[in-house]
Amino acid sequence: MYKKIQITRIDLRNGQNTIEDKIIIESVVRIIVNGSSFSSLVCSPSDPEELAVGNLFSEGFIDSPREISGVRKSDDGLSVFVELNKNFDLSDMKTESVMTSGCGEASTFSISSLSKIKKLPSPRDFSPEKILSLFREFNKRSVLFSETGGVHAAALCEDDRILSFREDIGRHNAVDKLIGESLLQGKTGENKFFLFSGRISSEIFLKANRFGVYLTASRSAPTDRAVEMAKASNIRLIGFARGYRLNLYN
């Protein structure tokens, strides 16, 4: 989602002129769980229900869509009300946490969660040609980025096709929306993988790992911590997937 505004473009060769430009819309969406305020996320305003469910799952507050008895958004789309069929007391969930390096979302994750990484029996084979081909389609779908330059993108894939695609101002939000959509449809990350436009840091990897994908690939770089986690979990981690080449980090 974007809006159009008038701006002044200054070109050192051709002077300045007034043009119409597209800028990305930034919203703050509140998540209310069982009647209590849970968090507020800075995000693009599309798909707020998916964002809420995906965030609750990837941050470890729910383990299954079966724990959700209802999800609805407010008329303005700036609040999401999630009803869980279990007790939800944040005071019981406080652990030592660190702030993440993400944009769009001021999230935390528990240091203790690093010891709960899901491990595959062994790394799965993959086709570099397939990954690079899917990224070419991924780039074509990144329309909002092409128009505004202000969002990140993520895609959930299976075999040689993109199942779903999301763009958001926040790296984490784009992934959470994919996870939330799958959970609301009763689907898991088994036999699936993520494509991603941004940096793969430890908290992004933890979200992917918790969802159960076997591979995460990006056009950008991973951090050292993400590489360590990928090796520990036998999950394939790919960076700089561009054109006809990619880097395999584990």
Residue pLDDT, tens place only, 216-247: 999 999 999 999 999 999 999 999 999 999 99
Residue 196 reports pLDDT greater than 70 = yes
Q: Is 103 a catalytic residue?
A: yes
Asked if 68 contacts 82 with a C-beta cutoff of 8 angstroms, the reply is: yes
* 3-state SS record for the chain: CEEEEEEEEEECCCEEEEEEEEEECCEEEEEEECCEEEEEEEECCCCHHHHHHHHHHHCCCCCCHHHEEEEEECCCCCEEEEEECCCCCHHHCCCCEEECCCCCCCCEEEHHHHHHCCCCCCCCCCCHHHHHHHHHHHHHHCHHHHHHCCCEEEEEEECCEEEEEEEECCHHHHHHHHHHHHHHCCCCCCCCEEEECCCECHHHHHHHHHHCCCEEEECCCECHHHHHHHHHHCCEEEEEEECCEEEECC
Question: Residue 93 pLDDT > 50, yes or no?
Answer: yes
Q: Would you say residue 114 has pLDDT above 70?
A: no
Indicate if the pLDDT at residue 109 is higher than 90: no
| All structural domains of the chain | 27-114 (3.10.20.10), 128-248 (3.40.140.10)
Q: Which of 1, 103, 132, 162 is catalytic?
A: 103
Q: What percent of the chain has pLDDT over 90?
A: 84
Instruction: Tell me what percent of the residues of the chain surpass a pLDDT of 70.
Output: 90
